[in-house]
Structure 1
C-alpha cells in the first residue's frame, strides 16, 4: 500500500530524553557525528595506531598542527574531508599545553583562553602584528620576553596581559582532551553525543508518564496524549479533513483531548469511580488531573496504582472511541470499568515475584473500595 504518511511526533522530539519530553531514542545522525569525532581524537591521542601514523604522514605531512590549517580537497577521501569538516566542533576540546613552545603554533593551536587567535584577531588587527601563519610560540620568545608589537586594540592588550603569566620551559608541548573544564584520558562516544545534542527544558510530567512497573503500550499512549498527538476530531478538522466534530463517546460536544479526558459524560462515568478506588479526587479537567498526578506523595504503592489506573483508563477510553468509529462496536461504561479492574489486578499480580510487599499493598488498596 503506497502513500504519504506523516509522523504523529517529530523526530526531534522523539530523540529527546524522556525527562525532556521525548522517547529517549538515540539520534543516529548525532551519534554518527560523535563516532567520526573519535577518529579526530585518535589522531591527537593515539599515536601508536597504524591508521593514525598513516594519516599524519600522508595528509598532515608529519605535523598535527596542519590539521587546523589544511583545506578540503576533491582528491581527498570522503573520510579525510569529513574529519576536516568537524574541526570547528572539536577545537575547543583539544587544548595545547605549553612547554617549550616548539610545536605550538601561535595562530591556530588552542593554547590561550581566547581560542583560535586567527578568529580572535581579525583583518587589519591581525596583519599589523606581522606574525606569519606557521609561527610557533618559541619563535616569539627571546631572552625571557615576548617579541610582540605594542598593543593597539583591547584584544591585543588582553593577549599581552595573558602572556605575562606564561613562561616557556624545557618540557615538550602536548595536547589534552578537555570537556566542560575536565580533562579525560579516554574517549567516550556517549559523552560527546550528549554534548552535541541540544538539550531542552525538563518537562514536569515525565515521571507521570514514565514510571517503573507501567504497562508499555499504556505508557506510550499516555505520552502521545500528553503531547496532544492523537488524532482527535478537532485536530483532524484543523488538518482540513472532512469529518464530524461531535465526540464519539457522548455525541454532545466537540471532540478534543481535553473533552475526552474527562469532561465527556461517558469517560467521566468510567474514570470517577476508578479514581476514587486509588484514593484520588477525580477531576474533569485534563490539566488539573495531570497536575494532581504530578504532585502525588505518600506510599509508593498508592502512587504506582494511581498512575497505572490513569494510564489504563486513557488507553481503554481511546480504544472504545476508535472501536465506535471504525467497527461500530459499543461497550457500556460498566463493561469498561470491569475491564480496567481485570487489567489492574493482573498487573498487580505480576509484581508478586519481584516485590511481594508492594504487590500486597497495591492489591489491598485496589480491592478495599471495590
Structure 2
C-alpha cells in the first residue's frame, strides 16, 4: 500500500541526478553533455571558432567545413534531377572545393584578397590546403585578420551563388571584393576595443 502524505510531514527534498552526479539544481551543461557526449576536438576548430569572429560567418564556415552545404552535386546525390554545373562559372561540377576555391570567379576574388593580405598569390586549391593555410602561424601575418577575411569570403561567395541561382543577379569579382572590403572594415571597427583587433585595420589597408 502507498502511504498517504500528511501535512505534518517534512518538506520533500529533490536532487537532479545526471550520469550518477547529484546536483542541487538543474544544469543545462551537464544534461547536454550526458545526452550528447563530447567528441574529440578537431584540428580545424580554431579556424572556425575564434574570439572576434562574426557569428553568422563562423556558423556558415562550420557548415562548409563539414561539407553540408546544399551544393548541386550534393543535391543530386539525394536523387534530385538537377543540373550539377557550377552556378558561378558553369564550367565544372558544383561541389565545395570547386565553388569556393577552383571556380574562375572564386579564384579571381581570392587573388585580390591574398594580395590585400600581403601574399604574392594564393596556393590553396583544395579545402584541406585552405584549412592548412588558415591555421599557419606567420609572425608577419595576423591569424585573426586571415580568419575573419576567409570566413567572410566563403559567406559572400555562397551569397553570390544563391543570388545568381534564385534571383538571376550576378556581380563581378571586383564588386564582390568591394563588398568584402566594406564588410571587413566594419567588422574590425566594431571590435576595435578587442586586443586581437589592435592594428588590424592598418594591416588590412597596408597593401591596398
- Taking structure 1 as the reference length, the TM-score comes to 0.48
Q: How does 1:1-370 map to 2 (within 5 A)?
A: 50-52=11-13, 90=20, 189=27, 192-193=30-31, 194=33, 197-280=36-119, 282=122, 283-298=124-139, 302-352=142-192, 354-355=193-194, 359-370=197-208
CA contact (8 A) 2:72 2:95 kept: yes
In structure 1, C-alpha distance between the alignment counterparts of 2:107 and 2:10, rounded to whole Å = 67
Summarize the Cα distance change of 1:358–1:329 in structure 2 as closer, same or farther, 3 Å threshold: same
- 3-state DSSP of counterpart to 2:142: helix
Summarize the Cα distance change of 1:293–1:188 in structure 2 as closer, same or farther, 3 Å threshold: same
Listed one character per residue, the Cα deviations across residues 20-45 of structure 1 (whole Å, up to 9, x for unaligned) are xxxxxxxxxxxxxxxxxxxxxxxxxx
In structure 2, C-alpha distance between the alignment counterparts of 1:345 and 1:192, rounded to whole Å = 39
After TM superposition, give the deviation of residue 263 of structure 1 in Å: 0.8
Listed one character per residue, the Cα deviations across residues 319-351 of structure 1 (whole Å, up to 9, x for unaligned) are 111011000001001000111111111111112
Alignment size in residue pairs: 196
Summarize the Cα distance change of 1:50–1:358 in structure 2 as closer, same or farther, 3 Å threshold: closer
* Structure 2: tracts of 5 or more residues without a match: 1-8
After TM superposition, give the deviation of residue 317 of structure 1 in Å: 0.5
Listed one character per residue, the Cα deviations across residues 89-116 of structure 1 (whole Å, up to 9, x for unaligned) are 53xx6xxxxxxxxxxxxxxxxxxxxxxx
* Structure 1: tracts of 5 or more residues without a match: 1-47, 56-82, 94-176, 178-184
Task: Answer with 1 or 2: which has the greater Rg.
Answer: 1
Listed one character per residue, the Cα deviations across residues 227-280 of structure 1 (whole Å, up to 9, x for unaligned) are 111110000110111211110111110000011120111101001221232245
Summarize the Cα distance change of 1:250–1:213 in structure 2 as closer, same or farther, 3 Å threshold: same
In structure 2, C-alpha distance between the alignment counterparts of 1:230 and 1:259, rounded to whole Å = 13
CA contact (8 A) 1:275 1:309 kept: no
Listed one character per residue, the Cα deviations across residues 126-164 of structure 1 (whole Å, up to 9, x for unaligned) are xxxxxxxxxxxxxxxxxxxxxxxxxxxxxxxxxxxxxxx
| Deviation beyond 4 Å, 4+ runs, structure 1 | 185-188, 357-360
Summarize the Cα distance change of 1:248–1:306 in structure 2 as closer, same or farther, 3 Å threshold: same
After TM superposition, give the deviation of residue 188 of structure 1 in Å: 7.3
In structure 1, C-alpha distance between the alignment counterparts of 2:29 and 2:187, rounded to whole Å = 37
In structure 2, C-alpha distance between the alignment counterparts of 1:206 and 1:359, rounded to whole Å = 20
Higher relative contact order structure (alpha carbons within 8 Å, sequence separation ≥ 6)? 2
* Superposition CA RMSD, Å: 2.8
Summarize the Cα distance change of 1:49–1:277 in structure 2 as closer, same or farther, 3 Å threshold: farther
In structure 2, C-alpha distance between the alignment counterparts of 1:192 and 1:211, rounded to whole Å = 24
